Structure 1
Amino acid sequence: MAAAPASKLLPNICLTLFLSLILLLLFSLILAFTVFKPKQPIIVVDSVSLLDLNVSITDGVHLSLSLNVDLTVQNPNKVGFEYSESTAVVIYRGEKVGEAPIPGGRLPGKGTEKMNLTLTIMGDRMLGKSEVFSDVVSGQLPISTFARLPGKVKVMNVLKIHVVASTSCDLIIDVKNESFGDQLCQYRTTL
């Protein structure tokens, strides 16, 4: 039996390689969008506590305030989550009155990281608001905290999907008892 000429085998080999490559790409895409489908990282506020609260209303209002915020960042993905440097802020009546840096980092797949932030409030920024005197006299100081972590999830080291995880808490500080009243925290994530 005579062997087939090389000119007839070459198209068959090329077609086989081409079809194998297409199947490999299709298989990779199916894995990328099923098994390795990116999920949104989550920031959870574990606790918020007062470190320092000094209020005086003699000769006007004098105020200094520091908060300790414990956060947990959870990565539900099977691949790592890389997040950029960011900032957690304290807001009083729509104005930023304090902040703390959040360093960038990387969480491995299914990883969790605890963070402890100290937010010092700049009293002079609060005193610029006309409502601060009435809030202090009433004994209830409303503030909000907000933390945001922008980052990316790499699927199979090919696809980079940008995600943002954020959390915010609305808090009422009981000035007389130096404690927290109502607390409402919300967690948001976006792909």
Structure 2
Amino acid sequence: MDMDANAALVMPCQRLNCALLACGVSSLLIAAGTLAVTLTVYRVRAPVMTMNAISLLTDPAATSSSSSVLTVVADVSVRNPNAASLRYGHTETTVFYRGRPVGRAAGPPGTAPARRTVRMNVTVGVAVGELLVVGQPAGLFLRDVAAGAVEVATRTAVRGRVAVLGGAVRRRVALEMNCTATVAVADMSIREQSCRQRVWLQ
């Protein structure tokens, strides 16, 4: 009778151990699955900035060539590949001629929805008189104009933040697009253009 009693006690203990083991394994599997989802779906990815076009306009109302204004319009897109919105502050675009800044403008802040692309235009006014000053003393700007083409560079910077998992994971994002473009003087069209993007995640 004692042996039968001991056996009756051992069986429930074994079943309890099996149940606890099964619960532990299930918890580990759930934790591993949650971690995998967090590292894949909710992992913060770097946004992608694209320079769609750079267009240039002149002010026909200007009374002289030195007082005229060259308007540079940067058409930029930002694609947000994340599962959460990207909130960004004021965008800043700077125009350079021969390595020196000749114009700067800021665009409004905004939000790029999850897995969407937003498009923004930033307009920068550049005084031709400023180009003449930069091209001194050798008259480089006038020489470029006489040759029929002027090379300019632009830099567009966007800074924002992505928050996933209800704000539990926050990453700061900084994007910078650097472009060089050759402008045909005859019709102010872009003859050549090359761009390079830089991204920082913090």
TM-score (normalised: structure 2): 0.72
| Structure 2 counterpart of 1:114, from 109, 112, 119 | 119
1:71 to 72, 76, 79: 76
Rate the CA distance shift 1:53–1:137 in 2: closer, same or farther, 3 A: farther
Answer yes or no: is 1:142 the counterpart of 2:151.
yes
Return the alpha-carbon distance in structure 2 between the equivalents of residues 160 and 121 of structure 1: 38
The Cα shift of 1:189 comes to 2.1
Counterpart of 1:172 (choices 179, 182, 186) is: 182
Q: 1:162 to 1:25 in 2, by over 3 A?
A: farther
Look up the match of 1:10: none
Gaps of 5+ in 1: 1-15
Q: Is the 8 A contact 2:178 2:196 kept in 1?
A: yes
Output the CA distance in 1 between the equivalents of 2:83 and 2:154: 30
Is 1:85 the equivalent of 2:125?
no
Q: Who wins on radius of gyration, i.e. which is larger?
A: 2
Deviating more after overlay: 122-131 vs 149-158: 122-131
- Note the aligned Cα RMSD (angstroms): 2.9
Q: TM-score, with normalisation over the residues of structure 1?
A: 0.76
Aligned counterparts of 2:59 and 2:198: Cα–Cα separation in 1: 29
2:17 paired residue number: none
How many corresponding residue pairs?
172
Please state how far the C-alpha of 1:79 moved relative to its aligned partner. Answer: 0.9
Q: Give CA-to-partner distance per residue, 1:95-153, whole Å, 9 cap, x none.
A: 11112212112112112111122221132322212221221222221101111111111
CA-CA distance at 1:161 after TM superposition: 0.9
d(CA) in 1 for partners of 2:29 and 2:128?
Answer: 63
CA distance in 2, matches of 1:103, 1:31: 34
Q: How does 1:2-151 map to 2 (within 5 A)?
A: 29-52=35-58, 64-129=69-134, 130=136, 131-151=140-160
State the Cα distance separating 1:172 from its structure 2 match. 0.8
* Range moving further from structure 2, 119-128 or 80-89: 119-128
Q: Distance in 2 between matches of 1:68 and 1:26?
A: 49
Higher helix content, 1 or 2: 2
3-state SS of 1:99 partner: strand
2:193 is aligned with 1:183: yes
Q: 1:32 deviation in Å? A: 2.8
